[in-house]
Each structure stands twice: as structure tokens, then as C-alpha cells.
Amino acid sequence: MGRSLAAALCDRGAIVQGYGRMSEDEGRDPRAVWTNATFADLSALARALEGQEVVFHLLGSSTPESSNRDPGEDLTASVFTTVKLLDLCRSASVRKIVFASSGGTVYGVPTIIPTPESAPTDPISAYGINKLAVEKYMALYRHLYGLDYQVLRIANPYGPGQSPFKKQGVVASIMHSALSGHAVEIWGTGEVTRDFIHVDDVASAFLHALDYAGEQRVMNVGSGVGRTVNQIVEDVRDALGLPQIEIVRKSARAADVPVSVLDTTLITRETGWRPRIAWQAGLARTAAWMRGTFGLA
């Protein structure tokens, strides 16, 4: 998401200071200044924040599954460090912070599908709990210090620039495995259902959040359409023009929510944002990027 957001901001004429662990071969926009450092490096983070008006917070390295293996470590890496980021934003006189929360995990096993922002939040992973905690800290810092913020609860992003090696991003993982001639791993029956949104549409949502001055602080960002993992495999096979994709099935994971599809009525009503990139076109763009980036047939 960061790659697409940086490009969208540069296209808009913004002076962009990127931050995080991203190498040039991952598609960094040359128009953006980049600080290659970890989230925990507070000195580097403070320097990167100097002179910035708006901060887009997308930093994070865990997944729902990995967060449950060591909830304490994930709490420190995500929530504690974000609180430090908020303090640094105050010191740097940042006007607004836009946070990439997780529409796929904060609601837990949803009682309403598509799921609106008003639905209960009962995460079944430490990852989701920590995303919610960050949302609450942002509300606290607005109350205490006037630091403006916007939370976007994002569905499952996919598209060019998404690494297939980080154990998060099922489209990238399936596509890379298929192009490499490797079997695709599916956890459980493959009927887990997710809402997929192209990274360029996510970047557009961030720009809408930047301009938004209304009262709604939390908004869903998704396509509103659910697709099973089994369907994703077939759609990727079609996009790549392959006769078949080998599948290896593994045991279901406790952190996987069975169904996650987001209701995006609120953000559309408040900002006018809506997804523009059709699913098949998004897969075709992703396939072209992956073939070119990794030299795959």
C-alpha cells in the first residue's frame, strides 16, 4: 500500500518523506525521499517527521497468525511504538495522522455481512486487538492534545508492489507460487471468504481521508464483494493463462475469520470515494507487475 500511496501523493504534487524497511527493488517511487529504518528506531523516526504536515501510518510487520504466537511482543511492536509515534507527531506539530487499521480482523467473526463500522469489535487475534487499541489511542490524543486523525479499516489489499514473501497478501502469494511452478498452500477448506481491494483504490481512499473534514473518524475501505480462497486460485489461474494450479491443503488456522466483507456505505457517503478497479483488471495488472519484477514466465 505504501508504494501506491507514495506515488499518488507525488502525483498530487506533495513533498513525500517515506519511512520503513523498503528496498529500491521493491518499487520505491524515486520522487519520494526515503528513510530506510525500523519502526522502533525513534531517533530516525523523529528526524523523518520534521516539517511534515500529515502522517500516514501503515507501519507493521506481524500477521494475525504470528501475533497470536507472542501477543506481548506484538503489543510492544505495534501499540507501544505507535504511542511513541503519536508523541513525536505532537512534538513535530503534525496536523493530522491517517491510520491503516484492519477491516479484516477488528470485527472478529462478524454478526453482520457486509460489516458496517457500527458492528461489534471482537477480534480473534492479537493483531486485531492491537489495531483497535491504536484506534483508541488516536482518539485519546485528539481529546487530550487536538491531534487530528482518521482511521481507515482496510479490507484485503492486493496489487503491484505487494511482496509475495511476507506471509500476508493471499493474491500475491498464490500468483507468485503459480508463476514459479510451486504448489499453492491453502489453509482449511479454502472457503474462507475475504473482501479484496486494489492498492490503487486504497491509495485513493487515503487521499480522500486526507481531505476529509467531517465528524466520522473510522471508515471501512473495501470492495463490498466476498471471494473465497478457492475462487481466488481459479481467478488467478485464469489471469495467468495456466491450465491448472497445484494445491496443497493444510489444517485451518485459529486466527482466520471465516468471512470478512466490508460495508463501505459510510466512506462513500462522507467522501465520495468508491473502488474503481475491477477485479479481473486488477489481477491482470498484478500479474504483469509480478512477471516483470521477478522475471517469471
Q: Return the pLDDT at 23.
A: 58
How do the domains of the chain map onto residue ranges?
A: 2-294
164, 167, 173, 176: CA torsion to nearest 10: 40
Q: Chain-wide mean pLDDT for the chain?
A: 95
Q: Is 295 left (phi over 0), alpha (psi -120 to 50) or beta?
A: left
Which residue in 289, 193, 170, 169 sits closest to 240, CA to CA?
289
pTM attached to this predicted model: 0.96
Q: Which of 127, 141, 149, 158 is catalytic?
A: 127
For 271, the enclosing helix (H) or strand (E) is helix 265-271
What is the three-class DSSP state of 227?
Answer: strand
- pLDDT confidence bin for 61, thresholds 50/70/90: confident
State yes or no: pLDDT of 41 exceeds 60: yes
Q: Domain 2-294 is in which class?
A: alpha beta
Q: Among 161-175, 198-212, 275-289, which is the least confidently predicted range?
A: 161-175
Which residue in 255, 193, 200, 199 sits closest to 224, CA to CA?
193
Q: Return the pLDDT at 118.
A: 98
Q: Return the pLDDT at 26.
A: 57
Mean pLDDT (whole number) for 61-84: 91
CA–CA separation, 271 and 15 (whole Å) = 23
Bridge partner residues of 221 (DSSP): 154
Q: Among 60-74, 191-205, 232-246, which is the least confidently predicted range?
A: 60-74
CA–CA separation, 52 and 32 (whole Å) = 13
- Check if 127 is active-site: yes
Q: What share of the chain has pLDDT > 90, as a percent?
A: 90
pLDDT digit string, tens, across residues 120-173: 999 999 999 999 999 999 999 999 999 999 999 999 999 999 989 877 799 999
